[in-house]
């Protein structure tokens, strides 16, 4: 039986492991942390659960092709998902607000009512979203294995969407927002994900929500990741937690195993890194195997930003508030020298009763920042000042919540501040990026290879090889990789499911 060592038990590592186990490989995962899921995680404080990750899970209902793939890893019928009428509400300081409905007709109506002077832009946006309702991503086969017939089939399937795909992947949300006359609509477009993301990414998200196939799994992110861990273990996989990989062993330009930070060595026939891309290429492999394209990504392409997550457990119910609101504080909450993302996201977790004791609520405030170095340095060099900065930001957020909801301060039972330093310590993601490479117009419809030039028996999976990141991407990159490995070993790729 061929042995495979997998680095990282995020969703990509677990997915790779599950599919390789289904195909008769002997795999084990080495994970630096003591939990599965990677960034798809949560933590408990004083009886409250702080959910770090999932806002929406593409493939949560059978209307999307990803559902079948998830069902190979998680018994989807046993999971409860909640969909939302509103994706988010964008509220500007002048008291105006835009409800970003998940139903495209309602969204169009809301935008036209609130920003009639931008009718042309609105209709173009919602018209494009409607057009993509019939679009289905071909998910079954790894694109790397496409033969001429697969290519032809894909082109024919994509033909009606080719022009809109090219058009919308080539414009960023910021560029689209800049065309708006109404500042509220401008803020809304800027706030749908991050301003530099291409419009196609946002349109597809709206379409998935419209089709009610982008729900939130009750129980949250860690609970969902634990389901995949369970499946992996049942398939015979082994996970070594608290096992940070320091080096990938190489002999005659082929990977032969891994070396842990403790010095322990583990040989294998194949090594897969589903961990952070930068540390894989530049630390574990000392930058010896890299081509011009991959290098250009690490030299000049944009990553998703990092973030602060400020959370409160409050002894009161907050049922009547939107699930996600983007608000613009009078003073920026971050220490960013150039505050790019002035809006912060307030999430009220009333929609999931498992997150807080009865009658109580978790509120999280997500503040995007690129100041990962500042937080990391502060934590390492001035721990007292780091704690003081955390307290300062918690206080500023609490003031914001008090103004918004009233009667919060006296009800706070739990406060938690996660900084980019926390996120990097637990997930090792480069620059504290929450989702790998930003899917910008510059990247277009391209991506990175799962291999490195000149290095045999080695592969990569996860959000550092698939721009745009996300959970379905992590799942599919692991599945695609298992197909690629099977093909190389002349094995028929098979799957099983629930």
Name the one range near ligand FAD by CB under 6 A: 71-79, 229-237, 443-451, 468-476. 468-476
Determine, following the binding rule CB under 6 A, whether residue 54 of this chain makes contact with ligand FAD. Answer: yes
Question: What are the percentages of helix, strand and coil residues in the chain, rounded to 5?
Answer: 40, 20, 35
Q: What minimum distance in Å lies between the beta carbon of 64 and ligand FAD?
A: 12
Q: How far apart are CA 120 and CA 67, in angstroms?
A: 35
Kind and range of the H or E run holding 44: strand 42-45
Binding residue (CB under 6 A) for ligand FAD from 313, 374, 469, 483: 469
Determine, following the binding rule CB under 6 A, whether residue 467 of this chain makes contact with ligand FAD. Answer: no
Determine, following the binding rule CB under 6 A, whether residue 428 of this chain makes contact with ligand FAD. Answer: yes
Question: Is 53 or 69 the residue whose CB approaches ligand FAD more closely?
Answer: 53
Q: How far apart are CA 141 and CA 153, in angstroms?
A: 12
Question: Is 303 or 429 the residue whose CB approaches ligand FAD more closely?
Answer: 429
Q: 86 - beta bridge partners?
A: 101
Question: Is 54 or 346 the residue whose CB approaches ligand FAD more closely?
Answer: 54
Question: Is 313 or 470 the residue whose CB approaches ligand FAD more closely?
Answer: 470
Task: Strand 412-418: give its sheet, edge to edge.
Answer: 97-101, 86-91, 324-327, 344-348, 361-369, 306-314, 412-418
411's tokens:
């009800």
Name the one range near ligand FAD by CB under 6 A: 36-44, 339-347, 375-383, 445-453. 36-44
Taken as a whole, the chain contains a residue count of 498
Q: How far apart are CA 418 and CA 422, in angstroms?
A: 6
CA-closest candidate to residue 50, choices 352, 393, 333, 363? 363
Size of the site for ligand FAD (CB under 6 A): 37
407-439 in b/e burial notation, b at 16+ Cβ within 10 A? ebeeebbbbbbbbbbbbbebbbbbbbbbbbbbb
* Residue 273 main-chain phi, psi, to 5 deg: -105, 115
Determine, following the binding rule CB under 6 A, whether residue 434 of this chain makes contact with ligand FAD. Answer: yes
- Cβ atoms of 313 and 49 within 8 Å: the answer is no
Question: Is 115 or 429 the residue whose CB approaches ligand FAD more closely?
Answer: 429
Binding residue (CB under 6 A) for ligand FAD from 13, 220, 343, 467: 13
Binding residue (CB under 6 A) for ligand FAD from 4, 6, 12, 200: 12
Question: Is 187 or 463 the residue whose CB approaches ligand FAD more closely?
Answer: 463
Name the one range near ligand FAD by CB under 6 A: 92-100, 392-400, 445-453, 470-478. 470-478
Q: What minimum distance in Å lies between the beta carbon of 436 and ligand FAD?
A: 6
Determine, following the binding rule CB under 6 A, whether residue 484 of this chain makes contact with ligand FAD. Answer: no
Strands 270-273 and 361-369: unpaired
Determine, following the binding rule CB under 6 A, whether residue 462 of this chain makes contact with ligand FAD. Answer: yes
The CB density around residue 272, as the number of other CB atoms within 10 Å, is 30
Enter the DSSP assignment of 331.
S
Q: What minimum distance in Å lies between the beta carbon of 225 and ligand FAD?
A: 8
Name the one range near ligand FAD by CB under 6 A: 74-82, 163-171, 429-437, 442-450. 429-437
Q: 27 - beta bridge partners?
A: 4
Determine, following the binding rule CB under 6 A, whether residue 30 of this chain makes contact with ligand FAD. Answer: yes
Q: How far apart are CA 440 and CA 207, in angstroms?
A: 19
- Residues 233-252, interacting with ligand FAD (CB under 6 A): 244-245
Question: Is 256 or 428 the residue whose CB approaches ligand FAD more closely?
Answer: 428
Q: How far apart are CA 222 and CA 243, in angstroms?
A: 19
- Cβ atoms of 269 and 4 within 8 Å: the answer is yes
Question: Is 11 or 69 the residue whose CB approaches ligand FAD more closely?
Answer: 11
Positions touching ligand FAD (CB under 6 A) are 7-13, 30-33, 38-40, 52-56, 244-245, 274-276, 279, 427-429, 434-435, 462-463, 469-472, 474
């Amino acid at each position: 039986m061929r042995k495979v060592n997998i680095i990282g038990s995020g969703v990509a590592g677990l997915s790779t492991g599950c599919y390789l186990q289904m195909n008769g490989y002997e795999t084990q995962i080495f994970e630096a942390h003591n939990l599965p899921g990677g960034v798809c995680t949560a933590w408990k404080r004083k009886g409250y659960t702080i959910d770090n990750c999932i806002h929406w899970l593409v493939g949560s209902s059978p209307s999307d092709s990803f559902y079948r793939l998830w069902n190979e890893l998680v018994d989807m019928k046993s999971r409860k998902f909640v969909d939302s009428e509103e994706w988010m509400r964008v509220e500007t300081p002048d008291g105006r607000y835009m409800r970003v409905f998940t139903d495209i007709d309602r969204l169009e109506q809301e935008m036209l009512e609130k920003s009639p002077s931008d009718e042309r832009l609105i209709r173009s946006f919602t018209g494009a979203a409607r057009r993509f309702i019939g679009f289905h991503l071909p998910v079954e086969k790894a694109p790397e294995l496409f033969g001429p017939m697969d290519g032809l089939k894909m082109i024919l399937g994509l033909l009606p969407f080719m022009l809109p795909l090219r058009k919308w992947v080539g414009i960023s949300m910021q560029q689209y927002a800049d065309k708006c006359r109404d500042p509220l609509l401008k803020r809304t477009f800027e706030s749908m994900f991050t301003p530099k993301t291409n419009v196609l990414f946002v349109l597809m998200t709206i379409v998935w929500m419209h089709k009610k196939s982008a729900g939130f799994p009750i129980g949250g992110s860690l609970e969902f990741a634990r389901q995949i861990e369970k499946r992996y273990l049942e398939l015979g996989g082994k996970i070594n937690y608290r096992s940070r990989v320091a080096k990938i062993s190489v002999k005659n330009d082929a990977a032969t195993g891994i070396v842990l930070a403790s010095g322990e060595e583990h040989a294998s026939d194949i090594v897969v890194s589903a961990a952070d891309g930068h540390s894989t290429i530049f630390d574990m492999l000392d930058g010896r195997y890299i081509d011009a394209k991959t290098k250009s990504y690490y030299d000049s392409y944009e990553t998703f930003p990092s973030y602060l997550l400020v959370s409160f457990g409050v002894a009161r119910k907050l049922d009547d508030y939107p699930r996600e609101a983007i608000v613009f504080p009078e003073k920026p909450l971050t220490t960013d020298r150039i505050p790019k993302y002035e809006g912060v996201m307030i999430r009220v977790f009333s929609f999931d009763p498992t997150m807080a004791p009865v009658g109580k609520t978790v509120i999280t405030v997500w503040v995007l920042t690129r100041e990962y170095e500042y937080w990391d340095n502060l934590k390492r060099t001035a721990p007292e000042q780091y704690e003081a900065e955390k307290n300062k930001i918690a206080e500023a957020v609490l003031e914001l919540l008090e103004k918004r909801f009233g009667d919060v301060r006296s009800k706070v039972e739990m406060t938690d501040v996660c900084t980019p330093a926390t996120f990097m310590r637990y997930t090792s993601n480069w620059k504290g990026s929450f989702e790998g490479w930003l899917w910008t117009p510059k990247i277009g419809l391209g991506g990175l290879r799962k291999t490195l030039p000149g290095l045999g028996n080695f592969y990569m999976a996860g959000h550092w090889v698939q721009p745009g990141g996300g959970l379905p991407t992590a799942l599919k990159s692991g599945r695609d990789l298992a197909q690629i490995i099977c093909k190389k070993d002349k094995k028929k790729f098979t799957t099983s499911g629930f």
